[in-house]
Amino acid sequence: MSNYKLLIEYDGTNFVGWQRQNNGKSIQQSLEEAILKLSNEKVTVLGAGRTDSGVHAKGQVAHFEISKDLAIDNIRDGINQCLRPLPIAILNVEKVADNFHARFSAKKRIYQYLIINRRPPLTFQRYFAWIIYKKLDIEKIKEAAQYFEGKHDFNAFRSINCQSSSSIKTIDQCSVTNAKESITVQVTAKSFLHSQVRIMTGTLVNVGEGKIKPSDIRQIIEMKDRDKAGVTAPSHGLYLKEIIY
């Protein structure tokens, strides 16, 4: 068997998420069907991150095994051909060691969340960013983001659907950058709780709106109460940016 690593980009707007489900088309299912067409082999494509419905990816990674030893370019171009017209693209293919696993071999995951802060509604970016009409205090948001860094119990920042046995996670970096009306929240960690980045982002927006102080982030973390944190930001502003191995 040959093990292949895929670097994938996709627009998650009309998908039920990464993972194969019964209620609609998923990224995983679309890739498996494309590879079946290409290789005539039924495979399981395993991803590094299980993005939710509506979440996008700039650098998702997955792997699959087939018995055939195919040329790298033929795999990339062949899968892309079979995926059309779906908004999924294979950016790169590598043949990797048998013990490589897209999820379990990953050391870091980097997510980005895009906010547009302006009065006019969104047009081109309406499915790719969260619009906030009220003027946000970007400096306070940047100050608040630093409180997320480090090892904490993030129980206040996970959804009720989270199945993780522990809510303790280590955030390596939580940074905020802005350019004109765009605000990007970037979070790096080995792993995340369900909806963690989206709830963190919703809480940072509350800071920018003046509803809570930057230093309140520390208290919210310590209280471990989901009701004390902010809203869950919409899925369409979230991007899986990169997986580090």
DSSP string over 83-151: HTTSSEEEEEEEEE-TT--TTTT--EEEEEEEEEE-SSPPSTTTTTSEEE-SPP-HHHHHHHHGGG-EE
Helix (H, G, I), strand (E, B) or coil at 82: helix
- DSSP string for residues in 37-50: HHHS-----EES--
CB proximity list for 118: less than 8 A, separation 6 or greater: 131, 133, 181
Q: Which two tokens stand for residue 155?
A: 């129980």
- Return the structure tokens found at 171: 């955030």
The token pair at 85 is 């017209």
Range 148-187 burial, b when 16+ CB lie within 10 A, else e = bbeebebbbbbeeebeeeebebebeebebeeeeeebbbbb
Positions marked active-site: 52
Instruction: Give 143: exposed, middle or buried? Use CB within 10 Å, 0-12, 13-18, 19+.
Output: middle
